[in-house]
Amino acid sequence: MSIKILIPTPLRVYAGGQDTVAVEAGTVGEVMAQLTILHPELKKHLYSEGGKLRSFVNVYLNDEDIRYLPESEATPVTPADVLSIIPSIAGGWGCPRSCAGGSGRALRCGRAQPPRTN
Amino acid sequence: MLDIPEAIYQGLRRHGEETYPYECCGILLGRSSHAAVDGVSINEVVQAVRAGNTRTDSAHNRYNIAPHDLVRAQRQGRQRGLDIIGFYHSHPDHPAQWSSTDLAEAHWIGCSYVITAVEQGRAAATRSFLLTGSSEEEKRFEDEPVSIRQNLIAEDDIEVIQSATED
């Protein structure tokens, strides 16, 4: 059966410029596998070298994050379902956890932050 | 270039004032194109969607938009033929300049990231940065000119900022 996948704007260039891709699949895992077979360039943007979904890539089956589905990638899909690929969005002026000092002050993060002017 | 209606521009600045001393965040829906003459990327904003900041542990200097809000905003946009073309957030008592965290956690290449400095509760500078590059490893922010459209907007677009968690 044909399942629709919504491709976010930054990944469309790797999916033939399409905002949606339809694949024949019976489970969530099959949908993702078919997607990367159809558009191999997507693979490195979605998965780590170890084959796991990259930490900042979210995949939703309708309104559910597939990571939290009881059957995970074995979850069956129907033609009424829509799979959405959604990279995460976060940030802020605070320092990343990896920042030396760990004070949370962006000023200590290096060249990215200019001197505070106010 | 970020092309944004005045009402939406003022709305996202106001959002930063309302959430002060915490960071606000939201999603910009619209259309992306490239200028015919010089090929410059143009992100045209049509609607802004307020999102809640889920980083309640450090909301004064961090923000995170729940992926579910992004899914809903994307769905909302598609009903109007719009895409997610950018995001906005505020820097309370901090410059309108992207931080190491902003870059590390930015993954929407081709999208505009708008930052408003909010100084003592009042919106100060607002700047936009285009996330460019061909991959996570090569991504970078570039200063992006902001063009504020003064034209009137339709009556039903006046409520330009809606909460993704309230509909």
Interval A26-71: pLDDT, tens: 999 999 999 999 999 999 999 998 989 999 999 999 999 999 999 9
pLDDT average, residue stretch A85-92:
95
Strands A20-24 and A57-61: unpaired
Supply A93's token pair: 């002026």
Distance (Å) from the C-alpha of residue B15 to the closest C-alpha of chain A?
A: 15
pLDDT average, residue stretch B59-67:
94
CB-based contact B64 A58, cutoff 8 Å: no
Distance (Å) from the C-alpha of residue A74 to the closest C-alpha of chain B?
A: 21
Q: Which residues pair with B63 in a beta bridge?
A: A91
> Is residue A17's pLDDT more than 90?
yes
Strands B140-144 and B122-132: antiparallel
Interface of B with A in 82-141 (CB under 8 A): 83-85, 87, 89, 91, 93-95, 97-111, 113, 117, 119, 124, 135-136
The answer to whether the CB of B7 falls within 8 A of the CB of B156 is no
CA–CA gap between residue A22 and residue A3 (Å, rounded) = 5
Kindly report, residue by residue over B110-164, the tens digit of the pLDDT. Answer: 999 999 999 999 999 999 999 999 888 899 999 999 999 986 665 445 444 455 5
CA–CA gap between residue B90 and residue B49 (Å, rounded) = 15
Enter the pTM of the model: 0.87
The pLDDT, as a whole number, for residue B164 is: 52
Identify the residue with better confidence: B40 or A105. Answer: B40
Which chain B positions have a beta carbon within 8 Å of A65's beta carbon?
67-68
Interface of A with B in 25-44 (CB under 8 A): 44
Distance (Å) from the C-alpha of residue A14 to the closest C-alpha of chain B?
A: 10
CA–CA gap between residue A92 and residue A23 (Å, rounded) = 37
In B10-67, DSSP assigns E strands to 25-34, 41-51, 63-65
The answer to whether the CB of A95 falls within 8 A of the CB of B101 is yes
Distance (Å) from the C-alpha of residue B128 to the closest C-alpha of chain A?
A: 14
> Is residue B23's pLDDT more than 60?
yes
The pLDDT, as a whole number, for residue A72 is: 86
| Closest residue on chain B to A13 (Cα) | B134
